[in-house]
Amino acid sequence: MIYKRSSALFTEAQKVIPGGVNSPVRAFKAVGGDPIFVKSAKGAYLYDEDGRKLIDYINSWGPMILGHAYPPVVDAVVQKAQKGTSFGMPTEIETEIAALAVSMVPNIDKIRFVNSGTEACMSAVRLARGFTRREKIIKFAGCYHGHSDSFLIQAGSGAVTFGSPNSPGVTEGTAKDTLLANYNDTENVEALFKANPNEIAAIIIEPVAGNMGCIPPAEGFLSRLREICDANNTLLIFDEVMTGFRLAKGGVQELYGVAADIVTFGKVIGGGLPVGAFAARNEIMNHLAPLGPVYQAGTLSGNPLAMAAGLAMLKALNDDPEVFDRLAQKTEYLHKGIQKALIDNGIVHTINRVGSMISVHFAPDAVVNFKTAAHGDNDTFKKFFHGLLEEGIYIAPSAYETWFITDALTYEDLDTTINAVRKVASTL
C-alpha cells in the first residue's frame, strides 16, 4: 500500500476532527480512498507523508501562484514573526498592501482586509445591502462564494461534491433573499429583476467561474450584467477570490473590460496565509464602520504575518510584467497536450481554460453552466484522478474543481503530466 502513513494519520484525524479534515473537499469522498497527508511543499511539488513527490495542480486551491514556499513570501513572514504576530492595532504594512492592491485593480479606491474569502463575500453582500437599502441578492447556480448562509443555495465546489448545495442549517428566511440564476443566461437574470422590482441589492458572480470546474463567461455576458445592474440601481459584485491577482494584475475587470461595484479577494492576495479582502470605490466603502453604519470587524484582520505574505506576493506579481502571460502560455500548452492525449484515446471530454485556470470535464457537450457541468461522467473522473495520482500528479479530488497552474511548473513538469494523462487515458 503506497499511502500507509497517510492512511494511518487519517485514521487518527477522524477520531478528533469531523471526517478527519478541516474543509470537506480535502477528504477523498467524491473519488474514494483516503486523503494524502502533506509533509512539505516546494515550488511545483508536494512531498507527502509516505515519501512521495507529487506535481501539484491545486496549489492550496489557488494561492500558491508562484509555487510553494516562495522565498520572498517565506522570508517576509519569518522576519515579521520575530517582531510579534498580532497586535489588534494599526500597522504600516496594512496601508502598504492596501495601496498596492488599489493601484493594481481598476475601479477601487479602498480595500478592507479580512481573514478568508468567505468573510470577504459575506461582508461585500452586507455592504451592498446597507448601501442600496435592499435585501435580495442574485447568485448563480454552481458558483461558490464561501460558506456563509446566504451563499449555500445551489452552491458549487464542496457543497455540490458532497450533495449539499442547499445546506441544512440555512434558514428559510435567509434562503428566500437569495435568488438563483443560471450562469451565462441573462434572460434568466432579467426575469428575476422583473419579478422583484427595486428589491435586488446586488448580483454576486464568479466572473470566471471556478467552482463547477472552470467556466468562462460567454461573450457579452458580464457586460450585459453590468447594464442590467446600472438600469436597476443594483450593485455588481465580482467574487475574484479565485481570479483576483491570478488572471491579470487587475483580475477579471481588467481581462474582460467590465467594471464591478464591489470586488472580493482571497487566495493569492494572502500569499498562502489566511486572508480575504473586499474593495470598492469611496462612495460605497465609506458606508463601512467606522466611517459609516455597515458593521464589519475582525480580531486578526490585517494580521502582520498575513499582510507580509500578501504584500510580498503582490509585489512579485506587480514587478513581473510577463507573469500572467507566462502562466497562460503554460496552461495552454497543458491544455493542448491533455486534449491530444484524450482524443488519441477516444475519450469524450471538454476542456475549459481561462488564463491559468483549467478543468477537464468528461462531458459530451460544451460546459457553460452548472447543468452542463453536471453532465460530466463521474466514474471516468474518479479513474482519471486515481490514475494520475499513481503517476505522481495531484489534481483536485472532485470534478467540480479547477486546476490552478503555478509559475513554478516547468515545461518538463507539463510534459510529465501530459505523458501521465496519455498513460491513464489508455486505461479509461
Cβ pair 307, 91 in contact under 8 A = yes
Catalytic residue among 136, 249, 267, 382: 267
316-342 core/surface letters (b: 16 or more CB in 10 A; e: else): bbeeeeebbeebbebbebbbebbbebb
CB of 343 to ligand PMP, least distance (A): 30
When CB distances to ligand PMP are compared, the closest residue is: 117
Q: Which is nearer to ligand PMP, 222 or 347 (CB)?
A: 222
301 phi, psi to nearest 5 deg: -65, 135
286-299 core/surface letters (b: 16 or more CB in 10 A; e: else): ebbeeeeebebebe
Residue 18 is classified by DSSP as G
Which range of residues in 26-34, 65-73, 140-148, 356-364 is near ligand PMP by CB under 6 A?
140-148
Q: Which is nearer to ligand PMP, 129 or 246 (CB)?
A: 246
CB of 96 to ligand PMP, least distance (A): 22
Catalytic annotation on 315? no
Residue 55 neighbours by CB under 8 Å, 6+ apart: 44, 45, 392, 393, 394, 409, 413, 416, 417
Cell representation of residue 224: 450585459
Question: What separation in angstroms does the CA of 128 have from each of 122, 137, 186, 200, 377?
Answer: 10, 9, 21, 10, 38
Q: Which is nearer to ligand PMP, 273 or 414 (CB)?
A: 273
Interaction of residue 400 with ligand PMP, rule CB under 6 A: no
Q: Which of 49, 177, 206, 377 is in the footprint of ligand PMP by CB under 6 A?
A: 206
Catalytic annotation on 75? no
From edge to edge, which strands make up the β-sheet containing 357-361? 350-354, 357-361, 403-404
Residue that is written with C-alpha cell 491559468 in the block = 356
Interaction of residue 61 with ligand PMP, rule CB under 6 A: yes
Residue that is written with C-alpha cell 498596492 in the block = 100
45-73 core/surface letters (b: 16 or more CB in 10 A; e: else): bbebbbebebbbbbbbbbbbbbbbebeeb
Count of residues that bind ligand PMP according to CB under 6 A? 17
Interaction of residue 270 with ligand PMP, rule CB under 6 A: no
Q: Which is nearer to ligand PMP, 157 or 232 (CB)?
A: 157
Interaction of residue 246 with ligand PMP, rule CB under 6 A: no
CB of 119 to ligand PMP, least distance (A): 7
Strand (E) or helix (H) holding 306:
helix 304-318
Distance of alpha carbon 33 from alpha carbon 365, whole angstroms: 29
Q: Which of 34, 48, 66, 116 is in the footprint of ligand PMP by CB under 6 A?
A: 116
Q: Which of 145, 246, 249, 287 is in the footprint of ligand PMP by CB under 6 A?
A: 145
Catalytic annotation on 144? yes
Interaction of residue 278 with ligand PMP, rule CB under 6 A: no
Q: Which of 97, 181, 236, 241 is in the footprint of ligand PMP by CB under 6 A?
A: 241
CB of 144 to ligand PMP, least distance (A): 5
Q: Which residues in this chain contact ligand PMP in the complex, by CB under 6 A?
A: 61, 116-118, 121, 144-146, 157, 206, 210-211, 239, 241-242, 266, 276
**Residues carrying an active site annotation:** 144, 239, 267
